[in-house]
Amino acid sequence: MPSQEIQSFLSWFQAHNGYIDTNAMDIVPLPPSEGGRGAVALIDIPENHTLFSVPRSMILTTRTSELPPRFGPDAWTGFGLHLGWSGLILCLMWEAARGAESKWAPYFEIMPTKFDTPMFWNEEDMAELKGTSVVDKLGKDLAEKDYHEKIVPAIQSRPDLFPPESLATHYSLEVYHMMGTRVLSRSFTLAEEEVEDEDEDDHHALPPKEDGAAHPHVPESPSTEEAGNTSLGSAMDVDEPAQGTDAAAHDQEHESETADANEPADGGSESDSDEEDAPEVAMVPMADILNARYKHDNVKLFHERDSLRMVSTRPIKAGEQIWNTYGDLPNSDLLRGFGHVDYMPLPYAPGEYGNPGDVVEVRADVIVQCALDYLNGDSGGDGEGSVNARREKKATTEDMTERIDWWLEEGGDDIFLLEHPTNITPPPSQKQKSSSASASTDPTALLTSSLSILPLSFIQLLLQSPSEFAKTQAKAKPPKPSASLPLLRVLLSSLDKRASMYPTTLEEDERLVKETEGGLEGMSLNKRHAMIVRMGEKRVLRDVRRCVEGVLQEVERREKEDPSAAEKAKGAAKKVLSRAEKRKAERAEGGGGKRRK
């Protein structure tokens, strides 16, 4: 029997022409490990079955809320409320403050008011996340800047809309964070073209499933191009109804509450056309009741002209949970955006648990420092790289500046995402070769089939001689990496340097879990989440390192057997990837690089 709030929500939903197949699904309380409240199948549901459909009129956005027209479009823009999420968050605050007068009152009743995201953690708990990518990306300060610089002045300018006596209850910083987190953890990004002038013919065009062509495109990880090059994130994605080959892929990356819908990813200034083209962030009642777990999704939200429709993408057995996808995010992003983590047996590490989609971010400056150390013989290695031997003076960061600038101008990124080696798809060119016996032990093939190309190419660039770099510039193509000893040594030291950014090692964390009564379960929720996030990242680092070490040993073995092999490898390094190849390879690999904002 659904709770009173859910009952009222369902009645409200249906009264506003929302459709839900109540024979097929129910909204039920679930254990926290299953996502908390969610939806389950009441019967065996076949593939391609519509579970519910949400009329567009029920979606809450800055277009549907009554606040923007009352505030006035010029003033709205004047306060910068058309940029980022601040406008939507203000709409949520205002609609919630209206209580029963708001069209969405029963929807607000069922939304959570407390969150487990690090935005609400104390310093002690945050310290447990040191070294993980959660810390840098939290964006709490930026969110608060938005609140003070946009929201407060906007509110103060219209006491008729925001009565002074309601400010403490409905418009405080605390409420802003709560509404911001609701947006972060429950919103959907709607496709750009859906708003007004959609083709009539597209109406009712649900994707045919037989050929699989119209199956929703779900980015494999947040490092995919689709995810990485956008500046705003929202919880879940919506697919177009078109007979879609590549149905609208929307960003899965979760930004902070400040995410600027209209700001280009490189932080440049926004233009009117950016604004018009920006995908719309929307709160979609009912669709946001679904939980998600890595590669468990069995439904997908498709958009049609007048509604958004949730459709099963595979058969769902009675009693099973109905899972949406949040983009199979790594735990760092899940924790930051949603306040939970995925914790399941890892397919690549028997006996270990975590999120198979975990990644580690390595900043370019870490790699640059390791390359400099190597070039200058400061890395404590055998000095064999001794490009330094050819240099009369020490290489400096300035020496690298030109290369880094070139890399960025060419569209490269200054953060590299390392995925688990088993999640890497070799570049297409290599797939063809991989059947041959020699390819299976070819160090470069081994390396690029386990690691994203981009960090490798970046290291290759840093290690080039001035004349090689001049050629690279002339060709305007990033260098194709080859598994040379210098590259592998810089890579290994970069991995070690990255690992040293955590206050503890993986082994120490494992020991800590063992020594805690009840293990992870014996820890506070925040600490447990932090441990799972940081151990997941460290496992990726560990396994990437193992791969690189394996390749290094193979290179050393070959060089011992045939010293001319090193020369051959150098020749291979000079081949370059065309930009198209590079993009293709990145896509096939699920990315590998990401521009820091």
Shortest Cβ 262–ligand SAM spacing (Å): 24
Nearer to ligand SAM, 244 or 339 (CB): 339
Shortest Cβ 179–ligand SAM spacing (Å): 14
The piece of 34-42, 131-139, 194-202, 376-384 that touches ligand SAM (CB under 6 A) is 34-42
Among 56, 293, 420, 528, binds ligand SAM (CB under 6 A): 293
Cα–Cα distance for residue pair 454/33, rounded to 1 Å: 36
The piece of 7-15, 220-228, 272-280, 283-291 that touches ligand SAM (CB under 6 A) is 283-291
Nearer to ligand SAM, 39 or 360 (CB): 39
User: Which residues, 6+ apart, have CB-to-CB distance to 109 below 8 Å?
Assistant: 5, 8, 9
Residue numbers 311-370 binding ligand SAM by CB under 6 A: 338-340
35 binds ligand SAM (CB under 6 A): yes
Residue 388 tokens read as: 């330094």
Amino acid at the residue 211? D
Among 291, 369, 457, 460, binds ligand SAM (CB under 6 A): 291
Among 9, 18, 25, 38, binds ligand SAM (CB under 6 A): 38
The piece of 31-39, 217-225, 245-253, 588-596 that touches ligand SAM (CB under 6 A) is 31-39
Nearer to ligand SAM, 38 or 455 (CB): 38
Shortest Cβ 326–ligand SAM spacing (Å): 7
The piece of 29-37, 68-76, 360-368, 504-512 that touches ligand SAM (CB under 6 A) is 29-37
Shortest Cβ 583–ligand SAM spacing (Å): 32
Shortest Cβ 65–ligand SAM spacing (Å): 20
Cα–Cα distance for residue pair 136/15, rounded to 1 Å: 44
The piece of 128-136, 155-163, 286-294, 546-554 that touches ligand SAM (CB under 6 A) is 286-294
Cα–Cα distance for residue pair 133/502, rounded to 1 Å: 11
Cα–Cα distance for residue pair 513/518, rounded to 1 Å: 8
Nearer to ligand SAM, 114 or 560 (CB): 114
Residues, the chain, total? 597
* Dihedral, 427, 429, 435, 438 alpha carbons, nearest 10: -100
| Residue carrying structure tokens 């709030």 | 5
The piece of 122-130, 288-296, 344-352, 555-563 that touches ligand SAM (CB under 6 A) is 288-296
Cα–Cα distance for residue pair 195/382, rounded to 1 Å: 62
72 binds ligand SAM (CB under 6 A): no
E strands in 22-107: 25-28, 38-41, 50-55
Are the C-beta atoms of 447 and 459 separated by less than 8 Å? no
Among 186, 309, 403, 539, binds ligand SAM (CB under 6 A): 186
Among 91, 292, 461, 585, binds ligand SAM (CB under 6 A): 292
User: Which residues, 6+ apart, have CB-to-CB distance to 406 below 8 Å?
Assistant: 461, 472, 473
Shortest Cβ 459–ligand SAM spacing (Å): 36
Residue 162 tokens read as: 């925001």
Angle subtended at Cα 115 by Cα 84 and Cα 9, rounded to the nearest 5 degrees = 85
DSSP three-state, residue 236: strand
User: Which residues, 6+ apart, have CB-to-CB distance to 420 below 8 Å?
Assistant: 348, 356, 358, 359, 539, 540, 543, 544
Shortest Cβ 292–ligand SAM spacing (Å): 5
| Residue carrying structure tokens 């690090």 | 118
Residues 204-243: x/- map of binding to ligand SAM (CB under 6 A)?
-------------------------------x--------
Shortest Cβ 117–ligand SAM spacing (Å): 8
Nearer to ligand SAM, 529 or 558 (CB): 529
Amino acid at the residue 459? I
13 binds ligand SAM (CB under 6 A): no
Among 88, 289, 456, 573, binds ligand SAM (CB under 6 A): 289
Shortest Cβ 143–ligand SAM spacing (Å): 17
Shortest Cβ 334–ligand SAM spacing (Å): 8
Neighbouring C-beta atoms of residue 101, cutoff 10 Å: 9
Are the C-beta atoms of 132 and 116 separated by less than 8 Å? no
Shortest Cβ 392–ligand SAM spacing (Å): 57
Shortest Cβ 535–ligand SAM spacing (Å): 17
Exposed, middle or buried, 169 (CB in 10 Å: 0-12/13-18/19+)?
A: exposed
| Residue carrying structure tokens 């494992």 | 510
User: Which residues, 6+ apart, have CB-to-CB distance to 350 below 8 Å?
Assistant: none
Are the C-beta atoms of 232 and 189 separated by less than 8 Å? yes
Terminal C-alpha separation, the chain: 47
Cα–Cα distance for residue pair 120/471, rounded to 1 Å: 51
24 binds ligand SAM (CB under 6 A): no
Among 53, 86, 132, 185, binds ligand SAM (CB under 6 A): 185
Shortest Cβ 296–ligand SAM spacing (Å): 8
The piece of 35-43, 242-250, 354-362, 569-577 that touches ligand SAM (CB under 6 A) is 35-43
**Helix and strand element counts for the chain (H, E):** 27, 16
37 binds ligand SAM (CB under 6 A): yes
Nearer to ligand SAM, 175 or 292 (CB): 292
User: Which parts of this chain interact with ligand SAM (CB under 6 A)?
Assistant: 35-38, 185-186, 235, 288-293, 338-340
